[in-house]
Structure 1
């Protein structure tokens, strides 16, 4: 009989006639082997991004009227409970396509951007048709390997919000900036399998600055701590010194052990004298999108 309390076996998953058989041994039934194979295949299912454009709205301004489309970004192949979204105009899609054509003209021969409508732009049927066409366009872009690894692709989903967040940060509106930065970070984390691991560094650094100025040192320390490994790995010296300085200051405030961080900061300052501009993290963040 199986020993009670053994965590490696679940009696509910075993055939009643072979409840004492150990997984991985020759006593596994055909049913168990088929189940294990099915689970293995599920675990190996490739993760990819899905794009939905479930809605749109007409924006009327003083001298302008246009449609904005809500784009939901989510991962497939794994459970993704976070459906994060941004809004983009047709002109944003057009600018993305032009940038991609400049870099990958031959690879995009079969990927066509839906044409701009000359009439009936605000007809509900036309908007619905355009919404579905743009959704299909994003799927085709992602299916093109060079595109999904391109910085232009990730910037399409985050650059607008990131710039807006930095405007708010410079104005001292840290709570509003944080809301946008969290959206940016969530999208960037979904893109990370196909983008450089330094992708999230600017957003995490800006989040750390916002939390510090909101007097929430725990959250500021956590964000800066997450940003540091890729900064170290890829030698982003201006971020590294600023992050280390922030972590040391917050560490003392929170009673965390910071001796190693302090030693690393001192070594960096001594070794890179004259080569690294030692700005505060807030100064680095503010200058990022000026």
Structure 2
């Protein structure tokens, strides 16, 4: 139904209502009499137009029914594909039109509703688009999920299990660390030495002489450690500090390396994969690219290469090739560096491993074959290269401040 048709129905309905009121007035009142008298012959048959008016109103209501659609600009689509209407089928709205007797389209609520509905729809569309395009700022959540009392000989302490979770999305692979009070205390002291100004307002839970193993103390300390890590991660200088980063992942890399040295590759996968997830969440990959001289780049590369070797030893060639490809994307040199032979010493053995693995599992290897051929054509001896496994066994995974120092006094008290 067109807009003119709707206006016509509204005007016609108003006219019919006016006629009905006139008939009712003539029936109920006699001319010239001041005293009200009860009508005697007022029946439903006296108003044959009433049923017709109700039917037409229902018809208009049905035709005005529709649903909002946000597929286009300022578009309101009706449920009936043959009808295009921007009107709300509100029965109270139609009733007001009949009772008020509006006959002009300029003052008709129908005309006003069209503009209001279009404006409302436009606002809804804009809000919907802004919500879709709005990016949730990524941050890490540190959640203590378990705290258990551990007894080792004469030593007794509380071991806290902390999940590191990426917020703003569903984290399919949260990483986990287990730390005790002395680990946090050592981290705090090191950060205070290197970042004294940034650490001034960072609260660290005090050590207690008694009641360290009661449930209330453990619960309060768990919440305090969550807030402690969250606060430090919110400060850019501390978040990028090697001391802070290595607190999370370095222990896993050292454990994986020790297991690989004794040939326990299956057991090494657990800490190595967890260490990789921790480095991903902490942004070590990007930091290593921006500052190649940082120790974090060495740790990141070691993790990928250790996974390549472990998966390869376990005959899981697909996983080995994926991590090898990822390491090569980080090590791929620029054209200038290639011409000047300035590339990582492990680039060539990695290229050879990747080409061999890709051939075995029928994956595309042309990109790395071309790069390997270019290196060979530049005069480099690709046959005399270091062993990847030998590098992994000998690499010294030390903290950025040097070898771990002795534990502080009282480490075993909590």
Classify the TM-score, shorter chain: 0.7 to 0.9
C-alpha displacement at 1:74, in angstroms? 0.8
Alpha carbons of 1:271 and 1:159: their partners in 2 closer, same or farther (altered >3 Å)?
farther
Matched, 1:73 2:156: no
Structure 1 residues 81 and 173 mapped into 2: Cα distance closer, same or farther (>3 Å)?
Answer: same
1:253 partnered with 2:360: yes
The residue number in structure 2 matching 1:96 is: 187
Deviation at 1:99, TM superposition (A): 2.2
Task: Give the Cα–Cα distance (whole angstroms) in 2 for the partners of residues 218 and 224 of structure 1.
Answer: 10
Distance 1:12 1:186, change over 3 A: farther
- The equivalent of 1:203 in structure 2 is 303
Unaligned runs of 5+ in 2: 1-67, 79-83, 85-118, 290-296, 335-341, 398-414
Q: 1:109 to 1:272 in 2, by over 3 A?
A: farther
Among 232, 251, 262, which residue is 1:171 paired with? 262
TM-score (normalised: structure 1): 0.82
Matched, 1:228 2:320: no
C-alpha distance in structure 1 between counterparts of 2:375 and 2:133, whole Å: 45
Please tell me the root mean square deviation across aligned C-alpha atoms, in Å.
3.0
Q: Which residue of 2 aligns with 1:4?
A: none
- 1:224 to partner: Cα distance: 0.6
Contact 2:174–2:277 (Cα < 8 Å) also in 1: no
Q: Which residue of 1 aligns with 2:247?
A: 156
How far apart, in 2, do the equivalents of 1:135 and 1:27 lie?
Answer: 44
Question: 2:143 aligns to what SS in structure 1?
Answer: strand
Cα distance in 2, alignment partners of residues 18 and 93 from structure 1:
59
Contact 1:241 1:265 in 2 (8 A): yes
1:38 aligned to 2:96?
no
Count of residue pairs the alignment pairs up: 272
For structure 1, the residue ranges without an aligned partner over 5 or more in a row are 1-10
**1:264 correspondence with 2:371:** yes
Whole-angstrom distance in 2 between the partners of 1:65 and 1:236:
50
**1:58 aligned onto 2:58:** no
The higher radius of gyration belongs to 2
1:284 paired residue number: 391
Give the distance between the partners of 2:331 and 2:348, measured in 1 at CA. Answer: 10
Name the CA shift for 1:89/1:238 in 2 (closer, same or farther; >3 Å). Answer: farther
81 and 253 in structure 1: CA distance in 2 versus 1, 3 angstrom threshold: closer
Larger deviation, residues 188-197 vs 205-214: 188-197
Shift of 1:127: 1.1
Check whether the contact 1:189–1:200 (CA below 8 A) recurs between aligned residues.
no
Provide the residue aligned with 1:115 in structure 2: 206
**What is the DSSP-based 3-state SS (H/G/I as helix, E as strand, rest coil) of the residue aligned with 2:141?**
strand
Change (3 A) 1:162 1:72: same
TM-score, with structure 2 as normaliser:
0.59
Return closer, same or farther for 1:281/1:249 CA change in 2, 3 Å cut-off: same
Question: Which position in structure 1 is the counterpart of 2:318?
Answer: 218
Q: Return closer, same or farther for 1:155/1:229 CA change in 2, 3 Å cut-off.
A: same
Change (3 A) 1:122 1:270: farther
Q: Deviations over 1:166-209 (max 9, x none)?
A: 11111111111111111111121111277434463221211110
**How has the CA–CA distance of structure 1 residues 12 and 87 changed in structure 2, closer, same or farther, with 3 Å as cutoff?**
farther
Give the superposition deviation at 1:254: 3.0
* Residue aligned with 1:51, SS: strand
